[in-house]
A and B are shown apart, each in its own frame.
Chain A
Amino acid sequence: MLVLCGIAVIVAGFLLRFNPLLVVAVSALVTGLAAGIEPLAILAAFGKAFNENRYVTVIYIVLPVIGLLERHGLQERARLAIAKLRGATVGRLLIGYLLFRQLTAALGLTSIAGPAQSVRPLVAPMAEAAAEAQGLPPGGDRIPAMAAATDNIGLFFGEDIFIAIGSILLMKGVLEGYGIVIQPLHLSMWAIPTAIAAFVIHGFRLWLLDRRLARAR
């Protein structure tokens, strides 16, 4: 029971707004001590896992490319391109992006888009330009936040349809530990109903967003 103190540390640390890196480190220490692990052994276990998980932080190598393109007007060009498109609304644009993200993720192409690769340089400025054309005053968090949300939802509820994605391999491994052998294709097939539901629910919200903008006019 005592090892659950680490979870309490995470929840309390977030509510009290301590720096999350600090909260995570303290949680690891508390959990390890509660389980009777030596402090040095906790440090070693954490360090080993940190080193093995470096690939998680590799994605930031795209930043110099995106930064340089921004310097030369990528975001402004994205706005212009949408402003010229007749009939472009923020809802239609993001529904299209949602479908694109779900379909490409389902083919295993998870890293071709993302907050750094596509949302900041392209999708968010395009969505803002479309919303402004629909009469929404510029500035504000709502539209860029919706662009980032659409990217996440498309990724999460598309990637599990691909048979060689991490989560499918994890499920296969865990089930094999219990003597249950399942083909990845069988697992990924059962991700399709939820993927459709995600498209319908989020697409409906985006359609509502368009309607609200039209009414406010």
Chain B
Amino acid sequence: MIGTGFIYAVAGLMFAAFAILSATDRTNPKRIGNAAFYAVLAISFLLGGKLGDIGNGVLVLALVAIAGSGAMGRGGRATTTLDERRTEAARLGNRIFLPALIIPAAALGGTVLFRAIPSLVDPKQATLVALTCGVLIALVAMHLWFRPRAATPLAEGVRLMDAIGWAAVLPQMLASLGAVFALAGVGDVVGGLAGHAIPEGSLIGAVLAYTLGMALFTMVMGNAFAAFPVMAAAIGIPLLVRHYCGDPAVVAAIGMLSGFCGTLMTPMAANFNLVPAALLELKDKNAVIRAQIPTALPLLAVNIGLLYWLGFR
């Protein structure tokens, strides 16, 4: 059955190629650091299932050591100049958008198709498998169209990957930190503290503690998924649902969305906030967060109001 094995093989081979291209890039004084970082990621994707838990832990330590010591830089392989790109844009016209549309079209069509044939593709991975197929189809199509040298797409990929750098694995690291937090019982302790902080008999106090707690804990963990079980256990279920007879669907849904407001305001949500800033080569790496805060704060207030007025009828 086609599933994560196929997806991880493609990702692993790509990172292996990134490692080789980085190692041979003489324009990058930190090429060894970049090559080592991508090589460790390639090992994780290709062999992670066979290394055992400690082995994977050692891979993580290697990534942290490379990134933490500032050993990563940006490669300087030649790409096209702005003038060349303008000429290409004029020559190719709007046809250039077609390959860019292959990936979303394949992700959409493949998801529908693969769900219909669960014996061939793991239904849980249907979208990622379809996305991977879309990438491969787009690469083949562009190869036939542009006739680039074999290494060119990968070299252009490294150029973008170098712009993101170590931030690329921060989301995966935070998800893993969440697992350690769960093992250590952090959620229960936070829940106990939050329970003490609310004045007794105050519905608005409980609603505020729950929604603001979701937003704040999400900001620390970088992920509303990590915050939800904690705040549900602390306030959502015992107080809002059981004590004040709130509608559990409203409490859960609006609690999660309050957490999403927190996601908009934290550098810990690296994949949403730091990675785009790096990809867009912004001077201020917090520029995306700054652009989001004026939407996130009023929306959090709206969520508090919605929960208070819709949740307890």
The chain A residues found within 8 Å of chain B, CB to CB, are 1, 3-4, 6-7, 10-11, 14, 18-22, 24-25, 27-28, 31-32, 34-35, 37, 40, 42-51, 53-77, 80-81, 108-109, 111-113, 115-117, 119-122, 124, 141-142, 144-149, 151-153, 156-157, 160, 166-167, 170-171, 174-175, 178, 180, 182, 186-191, 193-194, 197-198, 201-202, 205
Asked if B169 and A57 make an inter-chain contact with CB atoms under 8 angstroms apart, the answer reads yes
Asked if A77 and B135 make an inter-chain contact with CB atoms under 8 angstroms apart, the answer reads no
Q: B32-72: which residues lie under 8 A (CB-CB) from chain A?
A: 41, 44-45, 48-49, 51-61, 63-64, 67-68, 70
Whether a CB of chain A sits under 8 angstroms from the CB of B79 is yes
Having A68-B148, A68-B156, A73-B90, one finds 9 other A-B pairs with CB under 8 Å, namely A28-B180, A43-B58, A47-B57, A57-B168, A67-B160, A71-B152, A115-B272, A121-B100, A153-B292
User: What total of chain B residues lie within 8 Å of the partner, measured CB to CB?
Assistant: 138
B127 to chain A minimum Cβ distance, whole angstroms, is 6
User: CB-nearest residue of chain B relative to A31?
Assistant: B184
Whether a CB of chain A sits under 8 angstroms from the CB of B204 is no
Chain A residues within 8 Å of B16, by CB: none
Asked if A182 and B60 make an inter-chain contact with CB atoms under 8 angstroms apart, the answer reads no
B271 to chain A minimum Cβ distance, whole angstroms, is 7
User: CB-nearest residue of chain A relative to B178?
Assistant: A49
A117 to B142 Cα, complex, angstroms: 16
User: CB-nearest residue of chain A relative to B294?
Assistant: A205
Whether a CB of chain A sits under 8 angstroms from the CB of B237 is yes
**Which single member of B85, B224, B272, B283 contacts A76 (CB below 8 Å)?**
B85
- Convert B65-100 into 0s and 1s, putting 1 for each residue whose CB lies closer than 8 angstroms to a CB of A: 001101000000001101011111110111011011
Say whether chain A's binding surface is mostly helix, strand, loop, or mixed. Answer: helix
**Which single member of B63, B82, B264 contacts A152 (CB below 8 Å)?**
B264
Asked if B249 and A148 make an inter-chain contact with CB atoms under 8 angstroms apart, the answer reads no
Asked if A152 and B8 make an inter-chain contact with CB atoms under 8 angstroms apart, the answer reads no
A153 to B294 Cα, complex, angstroms: 12
Given A77-B93, A156-B260, CB of A61 within 8 Å of CB of B10: yes
**Which single member of A40, A47, A64, A117 contacts B153 (CB below 8 Å)?**
A64
B85 to chain A minimum Cβ distance, whole angstroms, is 4
Chain A residues within 8 Å of B61, by CB: 25, 43
User: CB-nearest residue of chain A relative to B79?
Assistant: A71
Chain B residues within 8 Å of A189, by CB: 249, 253
Whether a CB of chain A sits under 8 angstroms from the CB of B275 is yes
Given A46-B180, A112-B104, CB of A66 within 8 Å of CB of B160: yes
Whether a CB of chain A sits under 8 angstroms from the CB of B225 is yes
Q: B141-164: which residues lie under 8 A (CB-CB) from chain A?
A: 142, 146, 148, 152-157, 159-161, 164
